[in-house]
Amino acid sequence: MAITVEETPNPNARKFTTESLIFKGDGSVSVMPGQTSDFEIMNQLMSLEGVDNVFGFQNFITVNRLPDTDWDVLTPKVEGVLAEHGY
């Protein structure tokens, strides 16, 4: 499956879009520091070094990094978590 990575207007956020649904329904999912989610994929993303928070809706997850984190290092880790979950 393909994952599309897009920059956003926020230099600390990137949008990772998949070809299939990650989250069913019309509700979004967000996880802030110190929180956990019912969705294991979100918890795994939050555990990556340099991730500040995550937001997901239907077929995408937006990852917000800490300002001193390098996207060249973090992006492959995020893609790896998505791949582990079959996306």
pLDDT in tens, 17-45: 999 999 999 999 999 999 999 999 999 99
Alpha helices in the chain (DSSP H): 40-46, 71-84
pLDDT in tens, 47-81: 999 999 999 999 999 999 999 999 999 999 999 99
- For residues 26 and 44, give the distance between their C-alpha atoms in angstroms, rounded to a whole number: 22
* Domains located in the chain, CATH noted: 3-84 (3.30.1370.70)
Helix (H/G/I), strand (E/B), else coil: 86: coil
